[in-house]
Amino acid sequence: MGDAPAKKPAVKNPVPASSPPQKVSKPEPEIAKVAENPTVKEVGRPRRAPSQLSETCESSPEEIAAMVEVLNSCVERVRSIDKPVKMENEGSVVFKQLRLDCQKAAKVPEAFESTASHAVVVVAFMLDFVKRNKNFVPQVRALAELVLRAPAWSAAFKADTSLTKRVCSELPPDAHAAFGLGTEPAVQGGGSAATTAPASEPATVPATAPAAPADSPPPASKASEPTPASMADAVANVDRAVDSTPPQRKMPYARRASRSLSPVKPMKGAASTSEETSVGRSNSLPRSRPTGEQARTVTRGSQLPSFGGGFEWVLKANGSGERELRRQVATDTILACKNGYKLGDKLVCFKCVKEMCEGTRLVAAGSPVGGDAHTSWFKHPPGKAVEVAVHRARANLSVAVVNAASAYSAGGGFMHGGRHALEESMCTQTTLYRSLVAGREIAKSKGVQVSRHAVPPKPRHGVWQCHIPEGEVILSPKVEVFRGGTLEGYPFWDKIVELSAVVSVAMPNCNPDVSDAPQDMPRDFGEYRSLLRKKFTAVCTAAALAGANVLVVPDLGCGVYRNDPQEVGGAFQDVITSFSFDEIHLTGSEEFAKAAKAS
């Protein structure tokens, strides 16, 4: 893969001055050098398609033939998605290409008039795609508005009554107009079919009335949509799992600190200075969630005490006092995700928690789609994955960040007060933990088994509970970030930042001294390398499914699990050449970055 072109306009205030990113191939270039090269496809969230076909003069026969061939080719790709597993692994890529091809063909409206038979195939694919990717409803609506402006395509679509019924029953009402069906999803209360037709098209009611005759069965309700009941149960189990968290013992901050941070003196003023209950600054750990839906009040600034002038203890100290402090920070995050929180006079609410849980899925390695020689690469210091992801998301880009997850404990030590590594930090700063719990429930329903390489095959008590299969990852769409980083003391923010996805992958454990997970790396070195490539292929597949253009990858598994950074980086480099992202940001050691960027 080549480096980005040299001439690139700078982006204002690209990253915090405290952690200037670098390109791998040069000493310390700033992230301000993000490419805006016309040869590289635009990064960011997918743009809405034009609202209407191009109104130009009559096109030449050569132009019409060329655009007809473009539409024929894209429909062939759509027809190839004929199985659920293909839709799961390749649907996002095909949908993206379909949008691009239709936008190109829209410049020659005559191409749509001579390909009317494609309308049914394209609309059926869009419905199947959005059924599995609820967050793509705006893009599907925009694409429908584009292609159905062509009278021939619109007529062919409306002639298929099964498709019109699917649109009305499977898409939200505000999307119906894009398909030319008005806003009412079905005939209500036994009224006539004419009541469901758009007011602006009364003359067409007789032709389209068979789509919803008065004596036809009502459209499928939300409960009968193809979303499996097990998923709904999994989402419901998230709340039950969180509510079942053991209550914490009451102990003031000062006493907890003095128990395990000796000879550090108890802090003065560590407890809340207000009578008002505050998340993260209360005198005691909460035993349960607050009743009702009232958001709790949080204080500005650090939510943890600073010892020795900083927060390194969150990463390293493991006494009983520190563990309880970390448990309270986890509880604060869980409570905030449930009801929102008040920061000063501002009420901060979450918009995507339910959608994130419902969209959580296990994703296996999919088919490569071809790399992009113009991908821009950037290097950042270790521990900056969330910070970099937030920075690029604030630039209105579609960002996926990779999480080094534990396969045997959702969130790692997040709920147990363990020392904070990447996963614990992510769960504290974001809404991710709820999605990981949903993923755990999905794994239970699928009967996911522990790796055959696991040593010991069973822990001292009970059995290993594995929730991330060896060759799969957990895709958590629309994760919201609302707290600062570990070394800031996890302050609450007054504005939430949405990421396109967090992709959680469980790297092999090469460390026999880890107590909460078995040593599960393959003993055959060739098999080990093959497993690393398989995991990274699943990571890239999931990021593509989420529609991400920017991928943030830390040196996964190179900490306590003792994977070799050069092997991990090399496996990523082998895989990424088969996928297309506009920006790739590496956070971690130099050995990992050099191996990952080697070309």
**Residue range 248-269: average pLDDT?**
38
Residue 520 is assigned to a structural domain of this protein: yes
Residue 210 is assigned to a structural domain of this protein: no
Q: pLDDT tens-digit profile of 295-308?
A: 888 888 888 998 88
3-state SS, residue 10: coil
> Over 80: is that where the pLDDT of 127 sits?
yes
Domain enclosing residue 540, as ranges: 296-596
504: which strand partners?
Answer: 403, 474
Q: Are residues 325 and 453 in the same domain?
A: yes
Residue that finishes a domain, picked among 179, 195, 219:
179
> Over 70: is that where the pLDDT of 16 sits?
no
CATH number of the domain at 421, please: 3.40.220.10
Residue that finishes a domain, picked among 120, 146, 179:
179
Residue 218 is assigned to a structural domain of this protein: no
Q: pLDDT tens-digit profile of 66-117?
A: 888 888 888 888 888 877 777 877 888 888 888 888 888 888 888 888 888 8
Q: Considering only 220-224, 297-301, 346-350, 535-539, which range has the smallest mean pLDDT? A: 220-224
Q: Are residues 362 and 490 in the same domain?
A: yes
Q: Are residues 167 and 304 in the same domain?
A: no
Residue 19 is assigned to a structural domain of this protein: no
Res 238: pLDDT: 58
Q: Are residues 317 and 466 in the same domain?
A: yes
Q: Are residues 174 and 300 in the same domain?
A: no
Res 409: pLDDT: 94
Q: How many independent structural domains does the chain possess?
A: 2
Rounded to an integer, what distance in angstroms lies between the CA atom of residue 30 and that of residue 391? 13
- Amino acid (1-letter code) at residue 522: P
The backbone torsions φ and ψ at residue 384, rounded to the nearest 5 degrees and listed phi first, read -110, 15
**Residue range 129-156: average pLDDT?**
87
Q: Are 226 and 131 in contact (CB under 8 A)?
A: yes
3-state SS, residue 43: coil
Report residue 183 as tokens: 């806003």
> Over 60: is that where the pLDDT of 222 sits?
no
Q: pLDDT tens-digit profile of 494-509?
A: 999 999 999 999 999 9
Report residue 294 as tokens: 């009232």
| E-assigned strand segments in 201-353 | 278-279, 296-298, 341-343, 346-348
Res 262: pLDDT: 34
Q: Please list, residue by residue across 350-369, b when 16 or more beta carbons sit within 10 angstroms of its beta carbon and e when fewer do.
A: bebbeebbbbbbbbbbbebb
Q: Are residues 168 and 303 in the same domain?
A: no
Residue 383 is assigned to a structural domain of this protein: yes
Percent of the chain, pLDDT > 70?
70
Residue that finishes a domain, picked among 135, 163, 179:
179
Q: Are residues 168 and 307 in the same domain?
A: no
Residue 243 is assigned to a structural domain of this protein: no
Residue 533 is assigned to a structural domain of this protein: yes
Q: What is the 3-state secondary structure (H, E, C) of 417-463?
A: CCCCCHHHHHHHHECHHHHHHHHHHHHHHHCCCCCCCCECCCCCCCC
Q: Are residues 352 and 498 in the same domain?
A: yes
Residue 25 is assigned to a structural domain of this protein: no
Res 33: pLDDT: 38
